[in-house]
Chains A and B, each alone.
Chain A
């Protein structure tokens, strides 16, 4: 069966510090991978998605970046965090073709920037 891991679960960082959130998927090959951010009481905002190794599409220009060094690994990074980067970060995956390719979400990382 497929599983998706995210870490850390919670993170408190000062403004201006760097960030690295990691997401890995098990049990599937060549998944589409996504990073979302959800601010308190708000909907999901798509940040990045990737259809393959080294292929990253950015949906919202900001101080975040993403990388996909391996097929089932997706990393979200920042060189300098802003207060507005606080939120619940969710990694998700889906398969590339066929019906019922809903997204499956990881447990999320709650980031607080102080």
Chain B
């Protein structure tokens, strides 16, 4: 079966660092994606991991461990505009993307 887990909600302070975890169990694996979704809007692509290790892109970094079925998204120097839902998604060996339930992040002043 396909299962992706993320925390439902997280809260952090402006300027801080937050780590959003994602664990997955899928029938195949061909990449893990992180998306940001502001309320009422479509998801936008943040990062992609297919090999183990850390991918850094500005204030955002994403880590993958395929043997553990685990990824995290790291957000540094948090800004108020980072308040959004963060979706973890796994692409299987076909063309399917399986999405987690999303983590709603609230950044407080």
Residues of A within 8 A of B87 (CB): 43-44
| C-alpha gap A69/B23 in the complex (Å) | 38
Contact B44–A105 (Cβ < 8 Å) = yes
Contact check: which of A43, A92, A108 meets B41 at CB < 8 Å? A108
Contact B45–A43 (Cβ < 8 Å) = no
| Chain B, 5-42, CB within 8 A of any chain A CB | 31, 33, 40-42
Contact A105–B43 (Cβ < 8 Å) = yes
Cβ of B70 < 8 Å from any Cβ of A?
Answer: no
A-B contact count (CB 8 A): 50
Number of interface residues of B (CB under 8 A): 21
| Chain A 52-67 interface 0/1 with B at a Cβ cutoff of 8 Å (1 = within) | 0000000100000000
Contact check: which of B31, B45, B89, B95 meets A51 at CB < 8 Å? B95
| C-alpha gap A92/B33 in the complex (Å) | 14
CB-based nearest B residue for A106:
B42
| C-alpha gap A109/B78 in the complex (Å) | 30
User: 11 extra interchain contacts, Cβ-Cβ under 8 A, other than A44-B87, A101-B91, A102-B48?
Assistant: A34-B97, A42-B102, A43-B101, A44-B43, A46-B97, A59-B96, A92-B97, A94-B97, A100-B48, A103-B89, A108-B42
Counting from the closest, the 9 A-B pairs by CB-CB distance are A43-B101, A105-B42, A44-B99, A32-B95, A102-B45, A108-B42, A43-B99, A105-B43, A43-B102
Give me 19 A-to-B residue pairs in the complex whose CB atoms sit less than 8 angstroms apart, sorted by A's number: A34-B97, A43-B87, A43-B101, A43-B102, A44-B87, A46-B97, A46-B99, A51-B95, A88-B40, A90-B42, A90-B43, A92-B97, A99-B31, A102-B33, A102-B45, A103-B45, A105-B42, A107-B41, A110-B40
